[in-house]
Amino acid sequence: MDTVKAIISARAVERIKAGHLWIYSSDVLSCDAMPGAIVAVFDQRNRFAGMAFYSSESVIALRVLTGKEGEIGRPFWVGRLNQAQALRQRVVAGTEMYRLVNAEGDGLPSIIVDCYGDVLTLQTLSQGADRIKGLLVEALIEMLRPRCVIERNDAKVRELESLPLQVGVLHGSCPQELVCQENGLGFHVSPAEGQKTGAFLDQRENRWWARQLAFGQALDCFCYAGGFSIHVARSCTQVEAIDISEEAIKSAKRNAELNEVRNVDFEVDNAFDRLRLYDNLKRRFDTIVLDPPAFAKSRSQLAGALRGYKEINLRALRLLNPGGLLVTSTCSQQVDEPTFLNVITEAAADARRRVQVLQKRTQAQDHPFLLSMPETLYLKCLFLRVID
Ligand code: SAH
């Protein structure tokens, strides 16, 4: 592949020097590369700034791969994949499902690989990543000898790149369903179906901690396939788990059966309604888990999202017995940690509860984020305890 040049503004050069990996199209002064090409990036005085994926469609026109000049070929990709794998070998234990490659967080922009035992799912979310799909699959096969590699390119963000949404088998033959261990518990996984490749792997360490700290009567409000519920069931006397999706509750029940967990009641309901009802009924719990979907998907939704977070956290705090535990999360990238803490502080004040912070946590270590790129940190998870 011939290397083509892109010229960027001084402002964009500063951004890259500060460690950011994205250059917006408004900062690209010239580039006549093919969609998805790897380009050498220069400033207006022809000083080299980095090598990057070029996208002809997205507002993120360039994604920096490295600050070093030179050809980006197979050895580069294999090196980055090996580095990603070396990290997982250190931070993932007792678990068969985890994120092997976390895009920008692993210096592999717009590339995501999840492992479900010996089944791999791959997402190539930009034109550049999509163009090297074949090479990535080959490298992954060589590295891990997986049973199969599935393309989970049904993520909406691909539309921003004018890439088709598609799911398919790229290698081997794909089981419709398999069972994978997470923290020593079994979960059914459908690698080619389900939200976000079937599991919310980013909460794994938080689920482990929830299990350590949970007790008594528990309520899990956005339970999906039972990730938190089944973890805390091991330490609680009784768990009520609700989700608005019937599909989710069906999978959660199957997962509970698989683990011979009998102290969880799963029900389809709206968490907002259920929390309000229990507040009116003066029901009390010792442990509550709130892991809602992202209420803010863009800046314009922020105010409404904050009202939503405040509402559920306020109700949950009112429902807790003194000494009770609240595990509360936001996966909205727009809501940073200080903002989230602020919302919870307001909720606690309105609920007239005094609250201790036991842990401020984030996405699991197999979802590393970049120090220099706040966009890569999206999950905030607080472990709180009500004093009185
Ligand atoms: N805690 C889960 C992941 C939760 S994902 C885990 O550990 O795996 C968010 C879930 O919230 C989805 O399953 C979605 O169906 C559910 N949900 C969205 N809005 C809801 C609402 N108003 N009430 C209850 N559940 C809701």
Q: What is the mean pLDDT of residues 243-256?
A: 97
Asked whether the predicted pLDDT for residue 15 surpasses 60, the reply is: yes
Q: To the nearest whole percent, how much of the chain has pLDDT over 70?
A: 98
Kindly report, residue by residue over 125-154, the tens digit of the pLDDT: 999 999 999 999 999 999 999 999 999 999
Q: Of the listed 31, 180, 221, 331, which one is catalytic? A: 331
The phi, psi pair for 290, rounded to 5°, reads -120, 110
The model's confidence at residue 2, banded by pLDDT at 50, 70 and 90, is low
In this structure, are residues 150 and 113 in contact, taking their beta carbons and an 8 Å threshold?
no
Distance 329 CA to ligand 1 centre (A): 11
User: Which atom of ligand 1 has the smallest separation from the CA of 329?
Assistant: 1
203-215: b or e for each residue (b if 16 or more CB lie within 10 Å)?
bbbbbbbbbeebe
Distance 60 CA to ligand 1 centre (A): 30
User: Which atom of ligand 1 has the smallest separation from the CA of 291?
Assistant: 1
Q: What is the mean pLDDT of residues 89-112?
A: 97
CB of 97 within 6 A of ligand 1: the answer is: no
Residue nearest to atom 20 of ligand 1 (CA): 244
Asked whether the predicted pLDDT for residue 52 surpasses 70, the reply is: yes
Kindly report, residue by residue over 251-273, the tens digit of the pLDDT: 999 999 999 999 999 999 999 99
Asked whether the predicted pLDDT for residue 199 surpasses 80, the reply is: no
Q: To the nearest whole percent, how much of the chain has pLDDT over 90?
A: 95
Question: H helices within the chain, ranges in order?
Answer: 10-17, 74-91, 127-131, 133-144, 204-213, 227-233, 246-258, 271-281, 302-319, 337-351
- First-to-last C-alpha distance (Å) of the chain: 65
The model's confidence at residue 198, banded by pLDDT at 50, 70 and 90, is low
Residue nearest to atom 15 of ligand 1 (CA): 245
User: Which atom of ligand 1 has the smallest separation from the CA of 242?
Assistant: 24
pLDDT, position 194? 63
Kindly report, residue by residue over 278-337, the tens digit of the pLDDT: 999 999 999 999 999 999 888 899 999 999 999 999 999 999 999 999 999 999 999 999
Asked whether the predicted pLDDT for residue 196 surpasses 70, the reply is: no
CB of 248 within 6 A of ligand 1: the answer is: yes
Asked whether the predicted pLDDT for residue 223 surpasses 70, the reply is: yes
**Model pTM?**
0.95
Q: Among 205, 219, 224, which residue has the most ligand 1 atoms within 8 Å of its CB, making it the best to mutate?
A: 224
pLDDT, position 317? 98
Annotation says 331 is catalytic: yes
Q: Which strands sit side by side in the sheet containing 111-116, from one edge to the other?
A: 97-102, 111-116, 119-124, 148-153, 166-172
In this structure, are residues 53 and 126 in contact, taking their beta carbons and an 8 Å threshold?
yes
